[in-house]
Chains A and B, each alone.
Chain A
Amino acid sequence: MESAQLLNLTTFAYLASAILYVAILIFGTKNKTMGLIATLVTMGALLLSTMGILLRWNEAFKLGFGYYAPFSNMYESLVFFAWCIALGYLVLEYIYKNQTLGAFAMPFAFVAQAFAEYWPQWNQDLRPLLPALQSNWLIAHVIASFIGYAAFAIAFGMAVMYLAKARNVDRSGNPDGTGLFATLPPLKVIDDVIYKTIFFGFVLFTVGGLIFGAIWANSAWGTYWSWDPKETWSLITWFVYAATLHVRYTRGWSGKKIAWLAVLGFFSTVFTYYGVNFLLSGLHSYG
């Protein structure tokens, strides 16, 4: 078995998981078997992806690449991004014991993975690391940044969920929502999930994305901060989430306002991750 096949299979496993969670959302959470299958399929997808990533690492080792990290280009980083979302979602499901969250999280894992596998722009070939990328800070920087990105993606999914339910509540006048909105967690709980995933992502993104990134840049190029577009956009993203946390703490914002900030923050995240590489030029052109 090659890593490419495993990672390709992962795409379908994520798709199956996403479809199952959407089905659970539509048909309700009463069918326990379907719930169990959804969780197992998600775990299976995560396992496939983990094996794919490890196998790819091993293949690089066998090809004589020496120092390698399977997070070194856009393709690999998308695969890892999807992995982080799937893991993050499973953790949420475990904590909140609510499977309706899955319909707003697993589709992102599928989209990221499918984007990695089927977008013609990426080179999926295993290529050795450029000298500048051979650093332990790279591993730390990328892993922490992507866990952060995944948390922001989940916060975005939860924000969409919140806004949809809030709209239904406003229109129906029923504080618990009507129809399938009634099966979603209470607004207060969704608000809590949004806020917690944002602060978790914020910590990881600050430490991994900004601080480890700065240390790595300093050891490779001799400047810890050069206002390169990628750096600048990660700072902008950081500002958005820092502002979100501050309005929550000091001005007591919650609910719809925080949900909209989570949406804004995620757009900024996507631009930092993807947009900068293709619309702007800079040092960070590898991913």
Chain B
Amino acid sequence: MTKERNQVWRLFASVKLALWLITLLAASSILGTIIPQHKAPEYYIQEYGSELARLFQVMDIVPNMYGSWWFVALLVLFSINLIVCSLDRLPNTWRMVVLDNLETTPERLQKMPLKAEMQINEEPAAAGERVRRLLAAAGWKTAARDKEGGVLLFSQKGAWSRLGAYIIHISILIIFIGALTGSVFGYKASIMFPEGETVEHLFDRKTGQPIPLGFRLHCENFTIGYYPNNMVRDYRSDVIIIDPEMFAEPLRTSIRVNHPLKHRGLTFYQSSYQPLNEFLIKVQNTKTGLERTAMVSPRHQVTWEEEGVVFGVTDTMADRMGRVHEFRIWFDSPGADPSTFGMKDKQNVTVQRPEADYSFYVQQRYATGLQVAKDPGVWIVYLGCGLMILGLYVAFMITHRRVWAYLSPADNGGSKLLLCGGSNRNKASFDQRFKELAQRLRQDQAIN
């Protein structure tokens, strides 16, 4: 490795650079929350004046700072930093994970932070067996090795928890890869279509270009559900997927907010709606049971020839969204003079006539607006998130704890026991556990 390359590597392996990049990313992110993003050029000129607006444009701060070359460059530098930092430190950490802890020497054990010394009235081999059993009963399964005329026992827990930080770092990179996959191979699109219609294309949200769906989507019904206090409870589109390659029968299903529809790698989200100035009227002669359904515009009459009946909508009362609450219906049948009556959306009203009763049902026609996302990267992102949770758990909740027991011959024919240990975090709680362990050993009749 040349000296130059070594310097570049050292730069990217430094936590200092990581801290600088994090600071820069955070500071520039703030900028993007203060200057609104994704607005029309005129907005910026109006808000900030033409000179500042030009500067923002040149600096790529608007309309999309988070996609600008320099912000992406910061993210790329951050990723490289993350990779190099991890690779640089991994070998050392790995050595700690796979370290042969029986290779240590009694001198080094004497320097451990936690120590307890005891006497056992047996020679080292028998005492070793006794201590091994006691430690195992306390939950520490040991490995043993003869050492300098004595026996060394060792046990550890959570050695692999030292890898937790690396799991978190890898998970961040996986999330980046997922986001990149989504932005390269995916798209966002939308469609708005009325009840009763079928679509075969989407429209790309950025370019407005049509994208073929590869199947047909039919909207049967769009419904707004209300709470008792008239706040909106639910928006629902009842749709039919017509896709002979996948389903022999058309598939009837619905799309609600928070309950998107997934089909062929596309996800359909309920996002908006449009009340139309068209009304579905259903009239039924309750005596004969005959029925006529018609889609009418205001002030256009419909003739039902078999019954000699004429009807239409003369007037509507709508809110500011264009949702009609009340209809004025005009109705004429052979047996009596024409009449008008009021009725509410999606209600049934029966009109009595000398020749028969007629049941009316009226419903405003809506168009449903769907957002469509194709994001093959989302599962990679979720995988990264899952791994991050695992990494956080390992890194913060699991501690690498080590316990050694060294038995050496004593002058009186018995042996000396040196119990020692350490942990890489939560030192206070391990202190306590170590004391309890020593206490437990002392309770044995052969040990004091």
Contacts and interface: CB of A to CB of B under 8 A. Distances in A.
Q: Do A and B assemble together?
A: yes
Interface of A: 63-66, 127-128, 130-132, 134-135, 192, 199-200, 203, 206-207, 211, 214-215, 218-225, 227, 229, 232-233, 235-236, 239-240, 242-243, 246-247, 249-251, 276, 280-281
A63 B276 CA distance: 32
A127 B231 CA distance: 9
A239 B28 CA distance: 12
Contacts of A218: 378
Interface residues of B, number: 49
Interface in B297-325: none
B179 A225 contact: yes
B30 A236 contact: yes
A281 B43 CA distance: 15
5 contacts: A199-B396, A222-B271, A224-B378, A240-B26, A276-B33
B19 A219 contact: no
Given A220-B258, A221-B271, 11 more contacts: A211-B385, A215-B382, A222-B371, A222-B372, A225-B179, A232-B29, A232-B32, A239-B25, A240-B26, A242-B22, A247-B15
A22 to B, nearest CB: 28
Contacts of B36: 281
B26 A65 contact: no
A64 B33 CA distance: 38
B256 interface: yes
Given A64-B227, A222-B260, A236 B29 contact: yes
A276 B36 CA distance: 12
Contacts, number: 106
B22 A131 contact: no
Contacts of B233: 66, 128, 131
B285 to A, nearest CB: 37
The 10 closest A-B pairs by CB, nearest first: A131-B257, A222-B373, A229-B33, A227-B66, A128-B227, A239-B26, A211-B385, A222-B269, A236-B26, A250-B15
Interface string B367-405: 000011101001001100100110011001000000000
Nearest to A127: B231
Contacts of A280: 33-34
A63 B188 contact: no
Contacts of B15: 246-247, 250-251
B392 A207 contact: yes
Contact of B33 (A221, A233, A242): A233
B392 A206 contact: yes
Given A211-B389, A222-B269, A247 B19 contact: yes
B381 A232 contact: no
Contact of B269 (A65, A221, A227, A247): A221
Nearest to B428: A192
A127 B381 CA distance: 34
A227 B392 CA distance: 24
B267 interface: yes
B267 A222 contact: yes
Contacts of A276: 33
B235 interface: yes
A215 B375 CA distance: 14
